[in-house]
Amino acid sequence: MSSSMLALISAFGLVLAVELPDKTLVATLVLTTRFRAWPVFVGVTAAFAVQSAIAATFGSVLTLLPEALVTTIVAAMFGVGAYMLLREGFSPAKDGGEDASRSGPGPATFLRSALTSFGVLFAAEWGDASQLATASLTARFGNPFAVGLGSFCALVAVAGLAVFIGAKVRSRIRPKLIQRVAGFVFAGFSLFALAQLAF
C-alpha cells in the first residue's frame, strides 16, 4: 500500500471515529430540521472543504495555538447557539407555526440556508478534534493532500448521515421540541468546553 493511500485511509478512519459522536453531527442534524436538506448539505460540505484544507495546509501548526483561547472561543460560539435555539424553541408559536413548520421547510432561500450552514459548521470546526487530528496526521505523513482528502471525505460522510436523519426526523417531531433539545445539547457543549479550561 502506498504512503498516500495509507495517509488517506488513516485520516478517513480517524476523523470518522471522532466525528460520529461529536458536535458536527448534532449541528448538521439541527440545521436540517430548520432548513431544506440540500442547501444544508452544500453549506456544510463547503465548510468542511475549507477547514480540511486549512488543517492539512498548516499541519501541526494548529496544535500550537493557545488551547485556552481556542476552548474559550468554542465555548462562546456554542453558548450563543444555545441561546438562539432555546429562545426560538420556547417562543410562542405564531399562527399555527407548529403545523406550518411541520408541513415543510421554512421560507429561507437556498443561498441563505447554505450560508448559514457554512457559517455554523465553519465556526464549530475550529479547534475541533477532527481538525487537530488532520493537522497531526499531516505532520506525521507529510502528505497534506491525501490527509486533507481523507478528512474531508469522513466529514462529508458524517454530514450526509446527519442530513438524512434530520430530514426524516423533521416530519415526525415537533420543530420546537427539536430546537429545545438542540439548545440544551449546545449548552452542554459550551459548559463542557468551559470545564476543560478549569482542568
Which pLDDT tens digit goes with each residue over 120-164?
888 877 767 777 778 778 877 888 899 999 999 999 998 898 888
C-alpha R_g of the chain: 18
- Better-scored residue on pLDDT, 150 or 87: 150
User: Over the stretch 27-71, which tens digit does the pLDDT of each residue have?
Assistant: 888 888 788 889 999 999 999 999 888 888 876 565 566 777 767
Angle at 41 between CA 114 and CA 79, to 5 degrees: 70
Extended strands (E) in the chain: none
Asked if 186 and 60 count as a contact pair (C-beta separation under 8 A), the reply is no
Burial category of 41 from C-beta neighbours within 10 Å (exposed 0-12, middle 13-18, buried 19 and up): buried
pTM over 0.85: no
Calpha distance 134→138 (Å, rounded): 6
Burial category of 3 from C-beta neighbours within 10 Å (exposed 0-12, middle 13-18, buried 19 and up): exposed
Question: Within 10 Å of residue 194's Cβ, how many Cβ atoms?
Answer: 16
Sequence ranges of the domains in the chain:
3-93+100-197
User: Over the stretch 100-112, which tens digit does the pLDDT of each residue have?
Assistant: 344 444 467 899 8
